Amino acid sequence: MDRLWTVVKKELLHIWRDPRTLGLILLLPGMLLILLGFGINFERRNIPAAVADLSKTDVSREYIEYYTASGDFEQVYDVRNEEEILSLIDQDLVNVGLLIPEDFGRKVGTGEPASVMLYVNGASDPSEVSSIQLKLNAISQMAAQEILIDRIESTPAASSLQLPINASSLTLYNPDGISYLFMIPGLIPILLQVQALILSALAIVKEREQGTMEQLIVTPIKSWELMLGKLIPYLLVSILNLFALLWLGDLLFNVEIVGNLWELVGLSMIFIVGSLGMGVLISNLSRTQMQAIYMAIFIVLIPAIILSGLLFSRGNMPIVTYIYSELLPVTHYLEITRGIMLRGVSAATLWSSTIPLILLSVIYFISSVFTFRKRI
């Protein structure tokens, strides 16, 4: 028992004498719990919607209010035609589109059956898509029934009890709700992130622990050359893994790349550089490999899995959590993989994701260079 107690005291002293590691152990789990606890919300509210009201009548405006008054949907875009609705869905800026034809007001007013078109972004989580469809159907039925009741009250002799509005729903990209089509394009960014981050997070701190850092410092190599030299081998390995994951996704899960393969590869390289830059930045800020791994897991990897949109919608996140997720390159790359692989859109269409991805990758690489320079 004395020997056991001696070992325990030794490890406790080792932890106590390393305040940086002790601080990481005590603070990061609690901070992560707060961040994720407020960030995860299973109830989706204020779902962004685009509305094309071609009727421009009081009846059509009242009909739109049935969808927005509940708080389930929020009209964020007022568009002019179907093409603009489909474009916004392609860019993943809205989840729902509502198209009201020109003759809507006239038909409702004269008692003729009117029709509307509902568009649903099927590239989202199949369970969320199913929930959106149920909400849309329930609201459209309620609106039609309210109009029918008003018509009966105003014209008691009305013989027809047919619902005055027929709402047709069209689910785009994944109408059958196949989970593989949603998960595989999301898992690929996470797997690449894990590999790139862990490998590069140990790059500098390993040199420091092995005592070879001094040899690198006295050489005439510049900081950016050293950082780039550290990243290129891992970049090549990660690109090989990318092709392997895409091939396995097609072979085992029938998840094909609908869009341009080489646009996906080019943006993947940018994402990998950004992830490697984050890893080297963590390595520069760490004294030991334990600190590097701990920081990589708690600061990047767990938030990347929970907050990137892989498992939970980002639509209802608090502003602080949302900003944190925006600082993770995997958040934007995940939108890109789903956009190109599932929806078949171009990189230009995904500008709201490609521009932040490029900026973050450049910032993290430059930061890794400057943090290393400070340690020289």
**331-361 pLDDT per residue, tens:** 999 999 999 999 999 999 999 999 999 999 9
pLDDT in tens, 4-53: 677 666 666 766 766 766 666 677 777 777 777 776 666 677 899 999 99
Q: How far apart are CA 351 and CA 369, in angstroms?
A: 27
* Type of residue found at 37: G
Per-residue pLDDT, 225: 76
CATH superfamily of 47-172: abc type-2 transporter like domain (3.40.1710.10)
pLDDT in tens, the chain (376 residues): 666 677 666 666 766 766 766 666 677 777 777 777 776 666 677 899 999 999 999 888 989 999 988 788 999 999 999 999 999 998 889 999 999 999 988 888 787 888 899 999 988 888 888 889 999 988 988 888 887 777 676 665 554 566 778 888 899 888 888 888 889 999 999 999 999 998 888 877 877 777 666 666 667 777 777 778 778 888 999 999 999 999 999 999 999 999 999 999 999 999 999 999 898 889 888 888 888 888 898 889 999 998 898 888 887 788 888 999 999 999 999 999 999 999 999 999 999 999 999 999 999 988 888 887 544 4
Per-residue pLDDT, 98: 95
Domain ranges of the chain: 47-172, 179-375
Per-residue pLDDT, 22: 67
Q: How far apart are CA 233 and CA 210, in angstroms?
A: 20
Q: How far apart are CA 186 and CA 188, in angstroms?
A: 6
Q: Name the DSSP class of 120.
A: E
- Alpha carbon of 278 to those of 16, 196, 200: distances in Å? 28, 9, 8
Contact, 343 vs 123, CB < 8 A? yes
Looking only at the bridges linking them, the beta strands covering 165-172 and 47-53 are unpaired
